[in-house]
Chain A
């Protein structure tokens, strides 16, 4: 199929990552998450994951898809 699934995955997780990082910054650490600012940290993890997916999609576009 012509759509590379890594593109939507990368975009979506980057978006969610940004949302979490913003929430983490504005709310600070929460007592629920054992006083760890989990939104901030996990948001960064999601950003990295999303970035890797987007990077993969970019590489895939340059090299023609192997059949």
Chain B
């Protein structure tokens, strides 16, 4: 990707944002008196703030980039992640699960598991979660630093350290409250920064109707945009219909997914698993000031979330519509290529006039490491630029030699000691002239090389979908708006890190450190005392340190968490494959957890042993499923099927959704069976407030009808269904 140049106004906007987030941290610092203020905001934040933070914590930059990419690859069906996935899950969380999370007074999701079951389930969940958050924040910071490097030419290390430093300052000062407030700021930044881009894009493609027409063209020949292998053709509405192509079967929609995997795998297992059990988002609702506010948090969040596809998916659709519209002069961005590769490719091009086209084509393709478009390459080879390339290179070479010859002549003159001053001055003059010529020749080469790089980039027959959103920002944003859009992006990366770090420090301090201390150090233990010559047996009960200690630990672990994230960012930069494996394992862990939570809250008989072994069994069944299945077009290995390929899926997405469904069922069945086979360990009294059947129903008769959680939830689901029908 080519560099974007920022004007002073863009930098001013960027700096203003940084100044404000740091200022918010500073202003909140005086309220951070106890560990609960710092780690869980002392349960004091109004609903609209927690609600916006709730979606904002999920609306990381990777989501923004990824959803635009999916919008281009799959069209409007990407909105299933919202209208089938997120919204119903958020309503379910609000209506059914929040009463237990908030009412139990647990300080985190793992802590709820500890109250409901025992320390084993909690520790397993807490450790997995802590590792995951650190890696997630590292991956996101790596992406940010890489992006700033590619887009703005900043140094990778500088970008990484500066951005982490800003996050460290405001989280350390204001704790979770700071992170939540910043997330609200980021929410508005994203909405107000990207709305004009979407508006201009839609206007440019000629409005919604013209865009759908263009997308029909795309569906007729997706290979023209390298969206699909040659020969794959779809019905016209493949990119513009959410349900029709899905119901027609996996071969009729670009996602390659069947409707059952979509509804059960994505809609039920993955989305409910994410929105209802991931402490990163649930923590926002738990910070609300009372039960009603906590339950309404996901509902407040659901309203903007429902309309987010317009902001994050439509840009991808605009991009492919633009790419097929003649005269718009837009192509989907090619993958980023190092500048050394271009230099090598240009050296191959210089020989083009003297060799066969096929040799040049293969040579350039090898130099760039990319497949190329034959027609564009042919046009390029026959162009005047390439024809003149030989003479430009020769001129540069000649000027270089001239400088060297004249220089050595001058040296000889000086060394000889016989030359007159005038001769030396003359020779010096010649050297200066030769240098001048060289500079001219180099400038000319730079101009030609720049031109050629652009044309080569254009000839690359592959797309970098993650670059779609930036290509639009670059295309439409003049200075000013550019600063706003880029700051919004930077903001979402940084608040993503802050969100992960604040969830990490809470789980560490309360669930791992404090719990571990109580188990190992602050626990009553027998001790033999020597008293007046007699040995005496006493029970020592060490006192837990005061809250100040845990506040200190929370701050300390925040610093550690950020340092670990930076470490993970470098790890991700260095070992891309290792990162793929780690993300794969996260997938295994995430799929079954919703089964555990569902049984925990709604089936009284579930016990700790069942939950613990069921969860491990669920994770294992994901791993086994992955080892036995493969997506079409992939080779067995990291992508699955490394034991034996029992089942082949039409796409990776389908494989993922089925894996989640399988792991959910595995965990569910195992938990039920093991719970029934082992002893019931907790009494009804202990489970009060933790299990649905033993908890008094929340009375909301005195709340106005239209403000009741269940009523609002139903309304939201109805609106969501209407949206599904409109984009059927």
Contacts of B567 on A, CB cut-off 8 Å?
none
Q: Decide if A2 is an interface residue (CB 8 Å cutoff).
A: yes
Q: Which of B21-29, B133-141, B556-564 sits within the interface?
A: B21-29
Cross-chain contact A27 with B478 (CB below 8 angstroms) = yes
Cross-chain contact B479 with A23 (CB below 8 angstroms) = yes
Cross-chain contact A3 with B196 (CB below 8 angstroms) = no
Cross-chain contact B475 with A32 (CB below 8 angstroms) = yes
In the complex with contacts A15-B16, A16-B16, A46-B192, A34-B479 CB distance below 8 A: no
Max chain A C-beta neighbours (<10 A), residue from B177, B184, B196: B196
Q: Decide if B310 is an interface residue (CB 8 Å cutoff).
A: no
A11 to B185, CA, bound (A): 11
Contacts of B42 on A, CB cut-off 8 Å?
1
A residues 1-51 touching B (CB-CB < 8 Å):
1-3, 5, 8-9, 11-13, 15-16, 19-20, 22-24, 27, 30, 32-34, 36, 38-39, 42-43, 45-46, 49
Cross-chain contact A33 with B13 (CB below 8 angstroms) = no
B residues 2-26 touching A (CB-CB < 8 Å):
7, 9, 12-13, 16-17, 20, 23-24
A8 to B42, CA, bound (A): 21
Contacts of B185 on A, CB cut-off 8 Å?
5, 8-9, 12
Q: Decide if A59 is an interface residue (CB 8 Å cutoff).
A: no
Cross-chain contact A27 with B479 (CB below 8 angstroms) = yes
Cross-chain contact B484 with A33 (CB below 8 angstroms) = no
Q: Decide if B480 is an interface residue (CB 8 Å cutoff).
A: yes
Cross-chain contact A32 with B480 (CB below 8 angstroms) = no
A34 to B205, CA, bound (A): 11
Chain A residue nearest in CB terms to B478:
A30
Interface residues on chain A, number (Cβ under 8 Å):
30
Chain B residue nearest in CB terms to A29:
B478
Which one, B20, B41, B192, B200, contacts A1 given CB within 8 A?
B41
Chain A residue nearest in CB terms to B9:
A23
Cross-chain contact B20 with A12 (CB below 8 angstroms) = yes
Contacts of B289 on A, CB cut-off 8 Å?
67
Cross-chain contact B181 with A32 (CB below 8 angstroms) = no
Interface of A is mostly: helix
Cross-chain contact A11 with B20 (CB below 8 angstroms) = yes
Cross-chain contact A38 with B481 (CB below 8 angstroms) = yes
B residues 160-177 touching A (CB-CB < 8 Å):
177
In the complex with contacts A3-B181, A13-B192, A32-B478 CB distance below 8 A: yes
B residues 171-207 touching A (CB-CB < 8 Å):
177, 181, 184-185, 188, 192, 196, 200, 203-204
Q: Decide if B476 is an interface residue (CB 8 Å cutoff).
A: yes
Cross-chain contact B12 with A19 (CB below 8 angstroms) = yes
A5 to B359, CA, bound (A): 63
Shortest distance between the CB of A6 and any CB in chain B (Å): 9
Q: Decide if B276 is an interface residue (CB 8 Å cutoff).
A: no
In the complex with contacts A8-B20, A16-B484, A38-B181 CB distance below 8 A: no
Q: Decide if B409 is an interface residue (CB 8 Å cutoff).
A: no
Chain B residue nearest in CB terms to A45:
B192
Contacts of A38 on B, CB cut-off 8 Å?
196, 200, 476, 478, 481
Mark each residue of chain B from 34 to 71: 1 if its CB lies under 8 Å from any CB of chain A, else 0.
00000001101100010000000000000000000000
Cross-chain contact B200 with A39 (CB below 8 angstroms) = no
Cross-chain contact B49 with A5 (CB below 8 angstroms) = yes
B residues 372-399 touching A (CB-CB < 8 Å):
none
Max chain B C-beta neighbours (<10 A), residue from A5, A9, A30: A5
Max chain B C-beta neighbours (<10 A), residue from A1, A3, A34, A45: A1
Shortest distance between the CB of B487 and any CB in chain A (Å): 8
Cross-chain contact A33 with B478 (CB below 8 angstroms) = yes
Cross-chain contact A39 with B480 (CB below 8 angstroms) = yes
In the complex with contacts A2-B31, A8-B20, A34-B200 CB distance below 8 A: yes
- Since A1-B41, A1-B177, A8-B24 are in contact, a sample of 14 more A-B pairs with Cβ atoms closer than 8 Å, ordered by chain A residue number, is A1-B28, A1-B31, A5-B49, A8-B27, A8-B181, A8-B185, A19-B12, A19-B13, A30-B478, A33-B478, A34-B476, A42-B192, A45-B192, A46-B192
Contact residues of A with B, CB < 8 Å? 1-3, 5, 8-9, 11-13, 15-16, 19-20, 22-24, 27, 30, 32-34, 36, 38-39, 42-43, 45-46, 49, 67
Sample (19) of A-B pairs whose CB atoms are under 8 Å apart? A1-B45, A3-B31, A8-B24, A9-B188, A12-B17, A16-B13, A19-B12, A19-B13, A19-B16, A20-B480, A27-B478, A33-B477, A34-B200, A38-B478, A39-B478, A39-B480, A42-B484, A43-B480, A45-B192
Kindly list the 10 A-B residue pairs having the minimum CB-CB distance in the complex, ordered from nearest.
A30-B478, A23-B480, A39-B480, A12-B20, A23-B9, A20-B480, A5-B181, A1-B177, A3-B27, A42-B196
